[in-house]
Amino acid sequence: MASQGPPPSSLPPSMGPGAHPVQPGNTSRVQMWDRSTYKVQIDSEYLTLKYTPRDRGEVQQHVSFNNLPLGSFKRWLLYGGPQRAYSSGIYAIDTIRVFEGLVERQLTPREAEGLVYLTSNTEVYAITGSLVGCLAGSTYAWRTREKMKFPLRAAQPLERYNNFPNRYLPILRGSVAQTAWHITRANVWAAAGVMAIRPLFAAMGNYALWSGLAEDERTKDLPPLIQANSKERRQRGENTRTRGPHQAQHIKAQDDLQSQALDQDQAYTLDQAPQDWDQQTFSKNDSETRDFRGPGDFKPTEPVAPSVSGRGNSHSFPNPNKPPANADVFFDDDDDASPTAGQALRPESQGGSAWDRIRKGESSGPSSRQAQNQGYTPNSPSPTSPRGWRRVGTQKQDAQFENSADSFSFSKTEADKQFGREQAQKDFDDMLDRERRQSGSDDYDRGMKAVESGQENPTNSDLSLWEQRRRRN
């Protein structure tokens, strides 16, 4: 069964979820489990501390009270009873285990003996701070008994404290209630004094502990070892942090090599390229179609069949070739009002405006237009026209798509697009025929002559030609 916790990592927990191998809240459980193995035994001469680390078996530390320069009062205060002895022994074992983690080895009995003495002094500082805080708070409560002053509350008259605990549910009344309020106020001030003063004495005890490590003969070897191990751990942490960018650069280099190999797989090879192309101008900007511009005239390029890479499902499809530099990418010289003007092709020999071609089509009749459309279709463009070379490349692409073994399915094929363009052109021609039949050929000729000679009414210049003729009729 897979573990539900985050994966192991050498990164610090501050890096976020998954960077620490311990589950949330597991530290408290581990500490409780470790403390469940603690055993404290005391007699008149020895203090025995037993604990079981997770990486080794049970460890016993025997400490003689003769080697602990504690006075009778301190010894009674710390180890005078089973409960006090157990609390002091738990604190001593925790301190020993912390220092074992810092020095990365098990402490000797002499070093453990020195640490027990130092932790005993630290506990004395903490107990002294609690006593001093309680005494200071009780003293302040006694001195402000006439004002009945509580912490964080303004002084109130004594008449407000004739009911205890409150006036809605009074248990005590009168002077007895005021005495109960004084006792309550003294306890509150004592607790406030302990919370304010004990941290100061605890800091003094910690300072005495760390300064006593270098002064005591039994523990004077621990500070240099702790400093050396701390420096080594800090260096390992820096190496761990600096290892990330190197790995990222290595992964980036691998990705660059894979991308280069993919580009080479999709690009032309020199054996496949025609001999008359200039290899110095080989462009890799487009992986499907390539432009080869030599010192001579522009040469249309051969489209490349789509290549399927072996990595993933990424397919590359051929794009239309780019027009020459002198070609207008928005308008052609033979553009007209046809809905397929952007795709329809006209021979270069056919000059004049769109209306001239319409008049010529009228004089020749529908049969001549049909013959013209049959004689020159969008599928047979002129190679020298601006759009002819583009259509030639598209036709070759279609042929390669049909002959290629790796065929692809498009949402709209080229045949459907060609059929749509022919149908739109046919609808446009039918519309012009209907307009001519409805208006009459004479009116149509007169309107065209008026447009060419500029004799149209200027007031109706915003209207279309057909609308102006309808209004005149």
Is 4 part of any domain? no
Query: What amino acid is encoded at 321 in this protein?
Result: N
Are 139 and 50 members of one domain? Answer: yes
Q: How open is the CA angle 72-124-140, to the nearest 5 degrees?
A: 115
269 phi and psi angles, rounded to 5 deg: -100, 160
94: CB partners within 8 A, 6+ apart: none
d(CA 374, CA 368): 10
Residue 34, classified by CB atoms within 10 Å of its CB into exposed (0-12), middle (13-18) or buried (19+), is middle
Q: What token pair was written down for 270? A: 């020199």
Is 170 part of any domain? yes
Into how many domains does the chain fold? 2
β pairing state of 39-42 and 163-164: unpaired
According to DSSP, the residues that pair with 40 across neighbouring strands are: 49
Q: If we measure between CA atoms, which residue out of 205, 44, 34 comes closest to residue 118?
A: 205
Are 129 and 232 members of one domain? Answer: yes
317: CB partners within 8 A, 6+ apart: 288, 306, 408
Are 40 and 186 members of one domain? Answer: yes
Q: What token pair was written down for 119? A: 């932790």
Query: What amino acid is encoded at 346 in this protein?
Result: R
Segments of the chain scoring below 50 in pLDDT: 1-3, 22, 24, 248, 262, 265-323, 325-331, 333, 338-349, 362-392, 401, 404-411, 456, 458
Is 344 part of any domain? yes
Q: What is the dihedral of CA 153, 159, 163, 167, to 10 degrees?
A: -80
How does pLDDT run across 443-460, given as a tens digit for each residue?
A: 566 666 665 665 545 455
Query: What amino acid is encoded at 202 in this protein?
Result: A
d(CA 290, CA 110): 83
Res 237: pLDDT: 77
Is 222 part of any domain? yes
CB 144 within 8 A of CB 192: no
Return the half-sphere exposure (C-beta side, CA atoms, 13 A cut-off) of residue 108.
7
Are 64 and 161 members of one domain? Answer: yes
Show the domain range for 342: 286-403+416-439
Q: What token pair was written down for 185? A: 């106020």
Give the gyration radius of the chain's Cα atoms: 49
Are 346 and 220 members of one domain? Answer: no
β pairing state of 59-64 and 46-51: antiparallel
289 phi and psi angles, rounded to 5 deg: -125, 145
Are 297 and 365 members of one domain? Answer: yes
Are 175 and 297 members of one domain? Answer: no
382: CB partners within 8 A, 6+ apart: 345, 347, 348, 388
Is 124 part of any domain? yes
Are 176 and 314 members of one domain? Answer: no
Write the DSSP assignment of 374-386 as a string of letters.
HHS-TTS--TTST
Are 80 and 140 members of one domain? Answer: yes
Is 395 part of any domain? yes
Cite the beta strand spans of 365-417 per DSSP E: none
90, 239, 298 from 271: Cα distances, Å:
82, 50, 22
Cite the beta strand spans of 87-213 per DSSP E: 163-164, 172-173
Are 224 and 290 members of one domain? Answer: no
Tell me what the pLDDT averaged over the chain comes to: 70
CB 88 within 8 A of CB 123: yes
Is 351 part of any domain? yes
CB 395 within 8 A of CB 402: no
- CB count, 10 Å around CB of 62? 14
Q: If we measure between CA atoms, which residue out of 102, 99, 97 comes closest to residue 34?
A: 97
Is 94 part of any domain? yes
Are 162 and 311 members of one domain? Answer: no
Are 81 and 228 members of one domain? Answer: yes
According to DSSP, the residues that pair with 153 across neighbouring strands are: 150
